[in-house]
């Protein structure tokens, strides 16, 4: 099972105050804890009333395509899309909107229990600190065999991973996506990203637990 936690409140409010954004909030499957009340209070504080889509199963590509079609007219003018969902939902949406920045507003944490069995194209390892805002919406942990956060290992050949030749190198995909978004510099803003493995060991305990 997983739990989504809203990222730093002030940063999300600042991002929400940009007039040309669109918001997706995926209230998710029943088994997933989703902080909807907290999100609604954030949206209210930022003055976001319209341009919000409340959806479920954003992680399913066929559903996400339908949501895209429904909001296509607004989305084509959006400067960025802010997504309240687990890491899978954010990645699926980023794939459908490859030339619009898709910003994760939540971190996805692991909690013990039954894991959903829905077949998905994207994967999230519930690392507890979502990096998708600097990697063009492609997870560096699940798309790279070594889970590298700071760029490629240098071993890729013709776009394939040195660990598994049948697999595209995640960092080649990330680099292509960042070029499309004209955000090649995103990775230089912070020179070193160190993973905090405590977030996985401790999991996503809720404050009331």
Q: Which parts of this chain interact with ligand SF4 (CB under 6 A)?
A: 87, 107-108, 124-127, 130-132, 139, 141-142, 144-146, 148, 152-153, 155-156, 161-163, 169-171
Q: How far is CA 7 from the centre of its chain?
A: 12
Which residues on neighbouring strands pair with residue 106, listed in sequence order?
6
Q: Could you give phi then psi for residue 124, rounded to 5 degrees?
A: -130, 130
Which residues are CB-neighbours of 193 under 8 A, at least 6 positions away?
131, 134, 149, 150
- Minimal distance in Å, beta carbon 170 to ligand SF4? 5
Residue 176: closest CA among 99, 103, 120: 99
Q: How far is CA 137 from the centre of its chain?
A: 6
State the distance between the two ends of the chain, measured CA to CA, in whole angstroms. 15
- Minimal distance in Å, beta carbon 103 to ligand SF4? 12
Between 75 and 130, name the residue whose CB sits nearer to ligand SF4.
130
Between 42 and 107, name the residue whose CB sits nearer to ligand SF4.
107
Q: Closest CB to ligand SF4 belongs to which residue?
A: 87
Between 21 and 127, name the residue whose CB sits nearer to ligand SF4.
127
Instruction: Give the DSSP letter of residue 66.
Output: H
- Minimal distance in Å, beta carbon 204 to ligand SF4? 11
Between 28 and 170, name the residue whose CB sits nearer to ligand SF4.
170
Between 51 and 141, name the residue whose CB sits nearer to ligand SF4.
141
- Minimal distance in Å, beta carbon 167 to ligand SF4? 7
- Minimal distance in Å, beta carbon 168 to ligand SF4? 8
| Structural contact between residues 161 and 169, judged by C-beta atoms closer than 8 angstroms | yes
- Minimal distance in Å, beta carbon 86 to ligand SF4? 7
Quote the CA–CA distance of 163 and 78 in Å, as a whole number: 38
Between 97 and 141, name the residue whose CB sits nearer to ligand SF4.
141
C-alpha dihedral sign at 84, 90, 95, 98:
positive
């Amino acid at each position: 099972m997983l739990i989504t936690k809203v990222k730093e409140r002030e940063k999300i409010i600042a991002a929400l105050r940009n007039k040309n954004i669109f918001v997706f909030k995926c209230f998710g499957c029943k088994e997933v804890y989703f902080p909807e009340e907290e999100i609604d209070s954030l949206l209210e504080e930022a003055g976001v009333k319209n341009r919000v889509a409340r959806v479920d199963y954003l992680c399913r590509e066929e559903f996400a395509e339908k949501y895209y079609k429904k909001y296509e007219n607004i989305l084509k003018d959006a400067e960025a899309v802010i997504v309240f969902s687990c890491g899978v939902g954010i990645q699926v949406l980023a794939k459908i909107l490859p030339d619009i920045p898709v910003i994760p507003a939540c971190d996805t944490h692991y909690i013990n229990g039954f894991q959903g069995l829905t077949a998905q194209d994207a994967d999230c390892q519930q690392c507890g600190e979502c990096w998708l805002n600097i990697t063009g919406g492609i997870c560096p942990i699940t798309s790279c065999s070594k889970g590298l956060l700071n760029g490629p290992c240098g071993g890729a050949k013709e776009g394939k991973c040195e660990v598994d030749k049948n697999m595209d190198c995640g960092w080649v995909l990330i680099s292509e996506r960042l070029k499309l978004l004209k955000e090649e510099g995103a990775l230089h803003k912070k020179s070193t990203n160190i993973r905090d493995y405590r977030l996985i060991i401790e999991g996503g305990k809720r404050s009331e637990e």
